[in-house]
Chain A
Amino acid sequence: MSEKIIQNEPVIIIKNLYKSFGTLDVLKGVDLTINKGENVAILGKSGTGKSVLIKILVGLLKPDKGSVIVLDQNIAKLNEKELNALRIQVGFSFQNSALYDSMSIRQNMEFPLIMNNKNLSKTEVAKAVHEVLEAVGLKDKMNEMPGDLSGGQRKRIGIARTLILRPKIMLYDEPTAGLDPITCTEINNLINQVQETYNTTSIIITHDLSCARETGDRVAMLLDGKFAKIGSFDEVFKTDNEQIQNFYKYNFIQ
């Protein structure tokens, strides 16, 4: 990765965050601060609450305890209008892309843009769609339906759809899950390219070590509902913690 400047300006501050589902405690006191322009990869086994954490960041889930401050706004204190204004600034790329099946790729791109900017002209919308599809390298797929695309292409389109609203923060939920190694590398490069081009701050939720290493300026290891270690990739995995070592070994074998 090329050298980049990370400003010492926190855009996401998570403090003492707790979340349970029934009797299952998922997050048990999570603390994390992310600075502007930084890519943070959150690693952890399936079911450790990684996706829950980013869903709390956009208000899809409510925490039981603790505070989440995104772009200087406390999520818990926002009304619906304020939350929507914040959501426009936070792009969320879903694990299964969540493309609208009944719409073409072009309509998938246009939909969030038109719904949030009713005054845009047709030319402006077409230009924005053209630009984001070019950024993800899928300009030629504009008139196809989501069902006609491969898994990797769907992920790219999912990322393009979030980029069309020009977010300041990007949240990627398992961006490389279910993809072959070559496509994984392409997606990792795309995440870095998005950060450079659009100057976003990103959280990458993954259980894929190569994704965390290639995309994360910092890596945070989520174990038993808390961050066991936060630091550079090498710092996190130079440890005596057996669970972290096992996680590394398992990924290596894979």
Chain B
Amino acid sequence: MLSKALDTYFIGIENSYQFVKQYFKQAFVPPFHFQEIIHQCYEIGIKSLSLISLTGFIIGLVFTKQSRPPLEDFGATSWLPSLMGIAIVKALGPLVTALICAGKVGSGIGAELGSMRVTEQIDAMEVSAINPFKYLVATRVTAAVITIPILSFYCIVVGLLGSYVNIHKEEATSFIAFFKSSFSTISFLDLYTSITKSIFYGFTIGMIGCYKGFNASQGTRGVGKAANQAVVTAMFLIFIEEVIIVQVANWIRYY
């Protein structure tokens, strides 16, 4: 006989699977709530822009600053743009965006849907013959899948800009020379991998936020729990996805 905790764990996995399956069943079948998708894209994208800008820029700047001393020892500071290109395009840009969005967007979706669940607003939709899954979940997940790759790309650009500011100050490198050097080591496979990663991250953040919020219980305590679990679970899955996608990309590269 399985213990209660183990039962709960496997029931959770089954429920998550059903939730994801439900998304694919409903998101691509009319009626489509385009207006709500656009509204959610605005909520996720535009409202995260300032945070992404600041974080992306600082990461580019600080990472360049920190990487300079070891390269200086070998007289290899001219490699800095290439190093930053690899670091920001391949890893930092998508990952930082995903982590920021997991915190800001994931918790927001978890709390919003959680409070709608405990105050019976989701039930109110259902009894008004409105499909709450389609209106609330499908739109938010789709918006996250569309918006987070765009934010990632934006974060990459801002991060490289931060890096350029530091390199230009220290080495007086021109804008064109910096970007030529940065992208010299980046292939299209790297860009595709980054975009693919961001699509997976967007799906994970949207899905986990919606799942936790949609299934919230126990009143206001449940809302806090949903928001918290949305962030923790999404971040955990993002790191796992990062490892898997990098591994798969490397197999493709060397095959």
Contacts and interface: CB of A to CB of B under 8 A. Distances in A.
B130 A94 contact: no
Nearest to A113: B128
Interface stretch (B54-62, B96-104, B119-127): B119-127
B53 interface: no
A58 interface: yes
A148 interface: no
A116 B124 contact: no
A116 B129 contact: yes
A116 B123 contact: no
B193 interface: no
Contacts of A96: 119-120
A55 B126 CA distance: 11
Contact of B115 (A55, A58, A85, A101): A101
Interface string A84-98: 110110101011101
Nearest to B122: A98
A90 B115 contact: no
Interface in A133-148: none
A87 B129 contact: yes
B120 A94 contact: yes
B119 A98 contact: yes
A100 interface: yes
B123 A87 contact: no
A178 interface: no
A96 B123 CA distance: 12
A5 interface: no
Contacts of B31: 118
Nearest to B135: A115
A60 B31 CA distance: 22
B127 A58 contact: yes
B115 A84 contact: no
B129 A88 contact: yes
A54 to B, nearest CB: 10
Interface in A110-128: 111-112, 115-116, 118
5 contacts: A88-B128, A95-B120, A100-B121, A111-B128, A112-B130
Given A58-B126, A84-B131, 14 more contacts: A60-B126, A60-B127, A87-B126, A88-B129, A90-B127, A98-B120, A99-B124, A101-B121, A112-B129, A115-B128, A115-B129, A115-B130, A116-B129, A116-B130
Please name the 7 residue pairs, one residue from A and one from B, whose CB atoms are nearest each other, closest first.
A84-B129, A112-B128, A98-B124, A98-B120, A92-B127, A87-B129, A115-B130
Interface of B: 31, 112, 115-116, 119-121, 123-124, 126-131, 135
